[in-house]
Structure 1
């Protein structure tokens, strides 16, 4: 039997080889028509003959205080920008000029989405045009973040990522589109040989800024004078690459802005006023530049000047002489770390302290399942090392856990519930992909409501103050969104995802010795092979990745903004009507289907006349073909690219038994009948008017021939139908404190009100929060709570689409 061995290409050894008992297969190269006989020759071809992005370079940076030199791996930033700007993949979508978008003809309600719709690009364009007409701005977006490469050997990497604002945000945030470039690896030393903590921190900060200054230095003259650059469509423009955005978490923001920990990286508010809700204008840059100009003076004078200006004494910060840059207006919101890993973490801890872990966890275990919503079957109080995604999942159910709870001391929960609701509102509004003047006002109002009600946590003895930098920083979101576009333009979630490709996988490809030299070689080769594969695909098919992914798929059932997809084949064929009534809970399936057919034949029938007409209809079928799920795709109302922004699934399946792969064990699978939002005829894009909540019991199919021959229906027949049980209609206004709508089971003649409806009328799944009361009924479970509970609150926090619709 042949032996297969894997080797690391970064070490110069074969990256793959087929070695039958240590020998090469005879004439492999000739029979496969290869231009190389081993991986060394293949790597040489890749290195010398395939075009690619700029090569990595190595530079030693000497730290005199430590008496040691450190390695900086970097790329030419101008060549990297040329590579992105001139990539043919991006040519159809590149943006070359700022724009102002409005939702009204009077140009009052301005719209912000892509970076070129913000005020920064417009104002910078005016400054350049005043100097010399015909400038094309290339906004440079830089992000940095340390990441662990190993768990036990404590090895870290410090990558710098680069992208440009001319590329649309939906392309920039997808690693597969290759719109982000690894610009370099910064030194990761801890300088443990420097014993003084203060001196060590100052030296590390100076090392960071020295390396960044070297890497970004070419932007100084290029930003002012411009460079001739060719875009992917062959047009040459005078381009000005200008540093615009720095994206990073709070420690990185403090490091970049040369401030002390605990301060706001944007405005000069004192630390003990961070929790006041007061937002000041950005720090004045000129006094800081004047202080930095004293770097050539006596060190003590320089230190004193920096302290008077409110910054650390950092010699030559990297942004010091970059053109058109104010670093205190370039540090952007960080949704991942500021909201989910920051404020949500605090909020959950406060609620557990207020209500106790036992009742909170008991409610977690009894939430009904819903697509896209995680069930915390063990509660949330015992979770450790909670990820950003887990905090995001908590936000989806957090309000439903507390609406009926009582505080131990009998105090009113009104302020607490309002504080939680307003904070959740802010989280969801802050992540809108398109903002307007109105939605930005809503976001500010939500934050203001939190500050109005936050004192409840002080009254309960949970907090003594709210001087949290992350809480204060969210007050700057409105201005920064207006300046640079919505928060998905500069999300640090993209940075976290890039670590996998550019750091962790690259490290695993090395022999873990002098790894950065090997990592850069491995990455260069990977980029070249990826580009070559895209070129070959284009030569063979005439299409690119961009052209493929921007084309909308053809749905089976569709409306203007909704696509409903059903599987080609039913989940179960020939299910007896009695079995449907028993196993699916569709107890009134015969009568409901007869009423639907009668109504379809004569839309003017109502009430008693409809019941009489339905009674005369004879249902010849004894069984139906049923489906166990519906898949939805919907585009956002503001989605200018026409891509589906969310997918959703609604289930309607009976209990079953799952058998293991070996057939040795079986497992009971609970029934699941999801709740959905149904359009009663006049439902709109936003708001609950025209919609009603229902629970799907079964989804089935009647063929056109059956409907035509049996019922005499000449009109077009809906291909898929659903038997649903109704909940009460939405009230005119939601609850005055938590702003959720309350619905209850709807009954007719002592039984649950049920109907047959076309599947096309279903907009999406919807999650219901059970009205638990002060103490949750311990007999309820996640599987039976929809059947046992009668009253619910409609959850608007499943995703952005549901929030827009139900809030």
Structure 2
């Protein structure tokens, strides 16, 4: 089903069911033309959790701008305390730990960091056990649910945000592609979601991920890091700016994204850039990655195609698509070596043991 309307010089067809109807905080649709509720503004004299403006600016200078070493912060606070003691006063922080704990306790601005540990819990060889199998790794992340919630509530995106998937055509009836929600994937996903009548009037918010392995050599001994990036497909483009690794990466990714799972089937009430509340359905959208990251995500052997089962030396062989269902069947029915050689599939990815810190 489609709804056709004129938008500037282009005809747009919007998904009829997932239209992003404004609602109240309880999910009840509002009458057409209703104004959004006013946003609450913070008291300009409230510097919480910092005691004063001086405390905030001191922390901002030392931590963000000067990036002063912790030992030097302690020394500075000691000097500061000595000059204030005769006035029965004290510096804004007793030491670097006091300053950092105050920064971490802030509830405004960025979503706080969390961490968990991940370790291998599968079968180990009898001899020469690889070091990574006995190592406990720390994963730091921000809750993607809270990150998306904060992005949706950002008024800076008002006017640069699509509340529904659409297809746009020019005067010559040629399809026009621009932002993410104008593409076929967003339209198809909206059609799938719309089969559930409880989603009527909701906004489909697809999460877009990207990652790129980074090696940090300074003072870390060539450690490898896997930063994971997140955006959402509704924001306009102009506004949006190895085997052991597979085991750990997949388990960590699954754990990090678990907070989005409930909102993928049951709409949740979120506030949007225009100030209105809307019922929201999450979805996992595209994952932006170069080839090494694609191989890592697809659980394939290096140099194999992540989209089909064609070997690297014969990509035109008419091989089968590499689907989740196909890979599951091969992993269940083939020996590890057979899956590796015949389909380039790393079939023994296991769930790791994860502990919340």
Deviations 1:622-641 (Å, cap 9, x if unpaired)? xxxxxxxxxxxxxxxxxxxx
Deviation, 1:282, is 4.8
For the residues of structure 1 that align with 2:266 and 2:337, how far apart are their CA atoms?
Answer: 34
Q: SS of 1:287's equivalent? A: helix
**Match of residue 145 from structure 2:** 78
Structure 1 residues 245 and 158, CA, compared in 2 at 3 Å: closer, same or farther? same
The 3 A distance-change label for structure 1 pair 301 and 271 is: closer
Give the aligned CA root-mean-square deviation in angstroms. Answer: 3.8
| Mapped pair 1:272 → 2:340 | no
Does the 8 A contact of 2:179 with 2:237 survive in 1?
yes
Compute the displacement of 1:37 (Å). 5.7
Which runs of structure 2 are paired with 1:524-543 in the superposition (5 Å)?
none
Q: Which has the larger radius of gyration?
A: 1
Q: Relative contact order (C-alpha < 8 Å, sep 6+): which is higher? A: 2
Partners of 2:336 and 2:164 lie apart in 1 by 41
1:126 partnered with 2:169: no
Secondary structure at the counterpart of residue 105 of structure 2: helix
* Deviation per residue, 1:739-764 (Å, 9 max, x gap): xxxxxxxxxxxxxxxxxxxxxxxxxx
Change (3 A) 1:166 1:255: same
**Counterpart residue number, 2:237:** 169
CA distance in 2, matches of 1:148, 1:87: 33
1:159 corresponds to 2:227: yes
Can you list the C-alpha shifts for 1:326-381, whole angstroms capped at 9, x where unaligned? xxxxxxxxxxxxxxxxxxxxxxxxxxxxxxxxxxxxxxxxxxxxxxxxxxxxxxxx
**Inter-partner Cα distance in structure 1 for 2:164 and 2:74:** 45
Match of 1:14 among 32, 56, 73: 73
How far did residue 313 of structure 1 move? Answer: 0.4
| Rounded Cα–Cα distance in structure 1 between residues aligned with 2:351 and 2:179 | 29
Q: Please identify which structure carries the higher helix content.
A: 1
Contact 1:8 1:14 in 2 (8 A): no
The number of residue pairs the alignment matches comes to 273
Q: How does 1:536-551 map to 2 (within 5 A)?
A: none
Contact conserved, 1:287 with 1:309, CA < 8 A, in 2? Answer: no
Other structure's SS at 1:120 match: helix
Cα 1:218–1:290 change in 2 (3 A) is farther
1:230 counterpart = 2:271: yes
Cα deviation, residue 140, structure 1: 0.8
Separation (CA, whole Å) in 2 of partners of 1:96 and 1:10 = 46
* Cα distance in 1 between the residues matched to 2:204 and 2:137: 34
Q: Deviations over 1:495-519 (max 9, x none)?
A: xxxxxxxxxxxxxxxxxxxxxx9xx
- Going from structure 1 to structure 2, the CA distance change for 1:46 and 1:288 (only over 3 Å counts) comes to same
Q: TM-score, normalised by structure 2?
A: 0.64
Secondary structure of the 2:110 match is coil
Match of 1:147 among 176, 198, 214: 214
| 1:261 equivalent in alignment to 2:295 | no
Residue 232 to residue 36, structure 1, CA distance change in 2 (3 Å) = farther
Contact 1:307 1:313 in 2 (8 A): no
Partner of 2:238: helix, strand, or coil? Answer: helix
Structure 2 partner of 1:114: 179
Alpha-carbon spacing, 1:272–1:301, altered in 2? closer, same or farther (3 Å): closer
Structure 2 CA distance for aligned equivalents of residues 94 and 10 of structure 1: 41
| Equivalent pair of 1:57/1:73 in contact (CA under 8 Å) | yes
Aligned equivalent of 2:127: none
Question: What does residue range 188-227 of structure 1 map to in structure 2 within 5 Å?
Answer: 201-227=242-268
* Conservation of the 8 A alpha-carbon contact between 2:336 and 2:346: no
For 2:69 and 2:140, locate their aligned partners in 1 and report how far apart those are by CA, in whole Å.
16
Does the 8 Å contact 1:258/1:311 carry over to 2? yes
Name structure 2 gaps, 5 residues minimum. 1-61, 125-132
Map residues 339-418 of structure 1 onto 2, 5 A cutoff. none
Counterpart for residue 239 of structure 1: 280
How do residues 283-298 of structure 1 correspond to structure 2 at under 5 angstroms? 283-291=322-330, 294=332
Residue 53 in 1 paired to residue 94 in 2? no
Q: Does structure 1 conserve the Cα–Cα contact (< 8 Å) formed by 2:308 and 2:320?
A: yes
Name the CA distance, whole Å, in 2 between partners of 1:310 and 1:58: 33
Alignment check: 8 A CA contact 1:78 1:219 kept: yes
**How many angstroms does 1:203 deviate by?**
3.1
Q: How does 1:601-680 map to 2 (within 5 A)?
A: none
Query: 1:16 offset after TM fit, Å?
Result: 9.7
